A and B are shown apart, each in its own frame.
Chain A
Amino acid sequence: MYEPKIVAIFCNWCTYTAADLAGTARMEYAPNARIIRVMCSGRIDPQFVLNAFQKGADGVLLGGCHPGDCHYQEGNYKALRRYHLLQRLLEQMGIEKERLRIEWISASEGDKVKKVIDEMTEEIRRLGPLEIAETPAEQKPAVAAS
């Protein structure tokens, strides 16, 4: 069976802690997400998302504190706005909207981490692998533009 690769970028204060909780509570969920911790969902540069797709992710999951709960006040709203603009960009680039998802998950919602990752894994399994145009080896820039 095809196993999708999901890059999950989680806020340290909530979603990451929730994933930790899911782990210590021994909840079983799809092993397809590789979790990266950031200090706040507002730290998620859209370049991280595109970079994940470019490097072979089939889906990217963003997790932050519930609206009003961000430890830096506004970070999750920023993340939400970037997410919406990114979705519009991805649509034009022929990347299905199910491949990028944003969720608010508080530190106590370990079960939600399980639910969201399971769901997203299934959705992406249905879509199949994402194939980003590779620049063949001979076309790789020998000297990067600085």
Chain B
Amino acid sequence: MGKPKVAFYWCAGCGGCEEAVVDLAENILDVVEAVDIVFWPVALDFKKEDVENMEEGEIDVSFINGAVRLSEQEEMAKLLRAKSKLVIAFGSCSHLGGIPGLGNLWNKDTIFQRAYHEVPSLEKDNGVHPETKIKVKEGTLELPEFYHTVRTLNQVIETDYYLPGCPPTPKLLLNAVQAILKGELPPKGSVLAPDKALCDECGRNETKPEKLLLQDIKRPHEIHIDPEKCLLAQGVICMGPATRSGCEALCVNGNMPCTGCFGPTSRVLDQGAKALSAIASIIDYNEEEDIEQIMDKIVDPVGLFYRYSLPASMLKRRNLANTTKSS
């Protein structure tokens, strides 16, 4: 067998996942050596036609990062699916919807209203917004359609594996590439990271009290965070208990709480509900008034508990019927 053919593609994401590939640093040379990159728009000059001209299943592995927000992304994901033996969702956006997925608190109309009409602009033409077709004297120009709802990759195409993280760490990517090269991949549908909660690999877990109770909730900028002690025990909401491990507690090591980018473990269906449940359970008040008071400190529950996973959650998006009401 020749070198495996690999493709990379970028949907609704920030570009950080492309950066993560480059972050392989000198290891990237081994990877480039071992595989044949046949499509990677951000780095190499291949066109959509090149992919269209391939046989079905000709690509061995496609890594697709980003969520699906536009019709063009849906089209490319479907094209790559048809041409690939394996499709791997790369990073939180593709895996769970990611940060762009928080757009599901609005819809196309409310987003366009905000972005093109309400925000101050230096352009005197503020108020024009993108159309899918426009006639100019040279002909008709087209833009992809902007959907109401952001979707995860597996809500659009069959997805074989998931590399979690915002972005996935070089180590996980390298492990995945090695597993592919050796043909040692786990069962299809697996997330390519350990199936344990982050607390399990967090160095501060030992300092977490047996019976943890919160009398107050602090946001990171409100206190001096003790760099040794469990963040939850300091009243800072840490998603560690409801998040899959594999990042080696990167954020906690940087003295910031985990925000949940690796998604849930396999036993959890809805990461946000799980985290919400964990936090509510350890609040040290029983009277409604006190409960309300401490919960007032959670100013944005969706942004806190579903920062990376709203499209993959049970509710998926804000109730469309109520998107125009105050939010």
Contacts and interface: CB of A to CB of B under 8 A. Distances in A.
Contacts of A30: none
B314 A53 contact: yes
Given A50-B313, A84-B291, A84-B292, A142 B280 contact: no
A-B interface, 3 closest residue pairs, ranked by CB to CB distance from nearest: A94-B322, A94-B319, A142-B158
A82 B281 contact: yes
Contact of A47 (B154, B195, B277): B277
B207 to A, nearest CB: 24
A84 B325 CA distance: 21
A115 interface: no
A76 to B, nearest CB: 9
Nearest to B270: A47
Interface stretch (A13-21, A31-39, A85-93, A116-124): A85-93
B286 A80 contact: yes
B190 interface: yes
30 contacts: A47-B274, A47-B314, A49-B273, A51-B269, A53-B315, A77-B286, A84-B288, A85-B280, A89-B301, A89-B305, A92-B105, A93-B317, A93-B318, A93-B319, A94-B318, A94-B321, A94-B322, A133-B149, A133-B317, A133-B319, A139-B155, A140-B155, A141-B152, A141-B154, A141-B159, A142-B154, A143-B159, A146-B187, A146-B189, A146-B191
B255 interface: no
A130 to B, nearest CB: 7
Interface in B276-327: 276-277, 279-281, 283, 285-286, 288, 291-292, 295, 298, 300-302, 305, 312-323, 325, 327
A78 B281 contact: yes
**Which of A67, A96, A131, A141 has the most B CB atoms < 10 Å from its CB?**
A141
Contacts, number: 139
Nearest to A141: B154
Interface of B: 95, 105, 149, 151-152, 154-156, 158-160, 162, 187-191, 195, 263, 266, 268-270, 272-274, 276-277, 279-281, 283, 285-286, 288, 291-292, 295, 298, 300-302, 305, 312-323, 325, 327
A44 B283 CA distance: 16
Nearest to A48: B273
Contacts of B162: 145
Nearest to A143: B189
Interface residues of A, number: 38
Given A82-B280, A89-B305, A94-B322, A50 B315 contact: yes
Contact of A80 (B268, B291, B327): B291
A86 B276 contact: yes
B155 A141 contact: yes
Nearest to B319: A94
A108 to B, nearest CB: 23
Given A47-B270, A145-B191, A146-B190, A93 B315 contact: yes
A78 B325 CA distance: 31
B276 A78 contact: no
B319 A46 contact: no
B273 A130 contact: no
Contacts of B318: 92-94
A3 interface: no
Contacts of B152: 141
A143 B313 contact: no
Contacts of B322: 94-96
Given A131-B321, A141-B158, 12 more contacts: A45-B277, A84-B292, A93-B105, A93-B319, A95-B319, A133-B316, A142-B154, A142-B158, A143-B158, A146-B189, A146-B191, A146-B195
